[in-house]
Structures are given as structure tokens and as C-alpha cells.
Amino acid sequence: MNPWILASRPRTLPAAIGPLLVGNTLAFHFVQFSWLIAVTSMLCAILLQIAVNLANDYFDYKSGVDTHERIGPVRVTQSGLLAPDKVRNAMILCLLLALAVGSILIHHGGWPIAVLAAASILGALCYSGGPYPLASHGLGEVAAFVFFGLVAVVGSYYLQAQDTSLSAWILGSAIGLFNAAVMLVNNTRDIATDTKAGKFTLAVKMGEAQAQLLYRALIYLPFALLIGGFLLGILPGVPVLLAALSLLLARKLANEFSQTTGQALNPFIGRTAKLTVIFSLLFSLGFAFTY
């Protein structure tokens, strides 16, 4: 496989696509809905996700976290497939492209979107780099929840509606939990090597048994949020019922994850990301037909 494709980590991109799909779908019935803004916001999110992946690859190599003992998918910098400076420059290019694309969104959404854009770029850099890397201090899952949940869904909804809504906050929280679970899979797999490298992820701090319980909670709680939103009259029944079908996949993942360790966890990153997309697609389809 082309090393640049490996570096972009295609299996993680659903983490960016799912929340943008839901945020735009929630606002689809508004007269002022813009397809240009919808497509632009999704492109910006994908560029930011790729930038995060490249930053993680580069900074983990520079800090010594990635070594020959790594059991996860190939890291292009550590494996020598790409020179460190090339990966760093590609990361910077992706951030600049995201900023260029995002300038359209900032012009449309005003200062709130400018603040979110600045926070997103800072978050991409600080996830693995900087004086206080979020991933090395147990905050990786929190960052995934905030940026690929709340910011993505509520921000994309705001761009279309020029306002926020309880439904956007609920769905942002639900998808944020799924994406936090994607991050937890990665960190649970790397407990042994991260401990040796001094990278204190949440999984390292909790231990594998507790991380398995947390994973189960992270992929079940979104459905509790859906049901709660429906019972409170915030979310309509059809999209909630459709999205609830993905609970079957969540249950299978939870049961298998609790019996899997080490390198065998690699497929769970993509499978959990797919759960995010399936949940997002089903809810979006149901919501589109409701309105």
C-alpha cells in the first residue's frame, strides 16, 4: 500500500465523516441549508483528521513512543517508509489546507466558527505534540469526544442554522462517545509499549480490565442518550428506532473486545469507526424521511 495512504489511516476517517453527516442532516429542513457549506465542512473535518494522524505518527516517533516493539498498524515514520520531515511537512500542509477550506466556513459562520477552527487546529497539534501532549496524559479520549463529537456535530449544525439545539448536543455527545471508544481501542492495544515509553494514556492508567469495561460503556451510552432524547420529546421516533438497530453491532463489539488483547485488537479500530458511521447513517436516513 502507498505509504501516504498508510499515513492518513483511512480506517479512522469515519470518525470525521459521521458527526458532520449528522450535524448537517439535523439542519437539512432549514430554508437556508447550503450544500456548499455541508460539503466544505466535511472536507475540512477530513483534512483535520488526516492532520491529526500525521501529527501522531511524527510526534510519537520523535518522542520515542513508537519503537520496533510496536504491535499496531505500520507507522510510516518509525518504519522508515517516509522521512520524518516529509511527514511533518505533510501535517503542516493538511492544517493549512484545512484552514484555507475553513475560511469559507468562518466567513459564513462568524467568530464562533473562528474560535472552533483555532481550537481544532491547536487540538490537532497538542494531541501528540507540544509541552503537554493530551494523548500522553490520559486525555486522548476526552479530545476525541470534544472535537469529533460536540464540536463536529454542534459546529456543523450551527453553520447551517446559525443557532444550536438540544438535539445537536445530544447527537454530538453520542457520536463523541463512539469516537472516544475508537481512541480507547488504540490505547488499550498499546498498554504495554506505552507504559514502557512513559506515555500515560487513559488505558495505561486504568489497566486493561477497566479499559474493557469503559469500552462497553462508551458504545452503549449513545443509545441511552437516544432513548432519553426520544422520551423527553427532543428526538423523533423514526431516526431513533433506525439508529437503535446498530445496537446489535455494538453488542457484538463489546462482547468480542472483552475477550481480545494486544495485536488482535487492531481490527477493532476500524470496526468501531464503522459503528460510528452506521449509527450516523441510520439516524440521518430516519431524520431525512421524518422531515
pTM over 0.85: yes
Res 61: pLDDT: 77
Give the residues of the chain that fall short of pLDDT 50: none
Q: 152 with 19: CB under 8 angstroms?
A: yes
Q: Residue 246 — φ and ψ, nearest 5°?
A: -70, -5
The pLDDT tens digits of the residues spanning 117-131 come to: 899 888 888 887 777
DSSP string of 157-196?
A: HHHHHSS--HHHHHHHHHHHHHHHHHHHHHHHHTHHHHHH
Dihedral (C-alpha) 215, 221, 222, 228: value to the nearest 10 degrees? 180
Neighbours of 267 (CB within 10 A): 13
H helix and E strand count, the chain: 14, 0
Dist. CA 267–CA 178, nearest whole Å: 16
Q: How far apart are CA 186 and CA 166, in angstroms?
A: 31
> What pLDDT does residue 50 have?
92
Identify the CA nearest to 57 among candidates 42, 41, 72: 72
- Which DSSP string do the residues of 114-133 spell out, in sequence order? HHHHHHHHHHHHHTTSSSS-
C-alpha 115 chain-centroid distance: 19
Buried b / exposed e over 196-225, threshold 16 CB at 10 Å, is: ebebebbbbebeeeebbebbbebbebbbeb
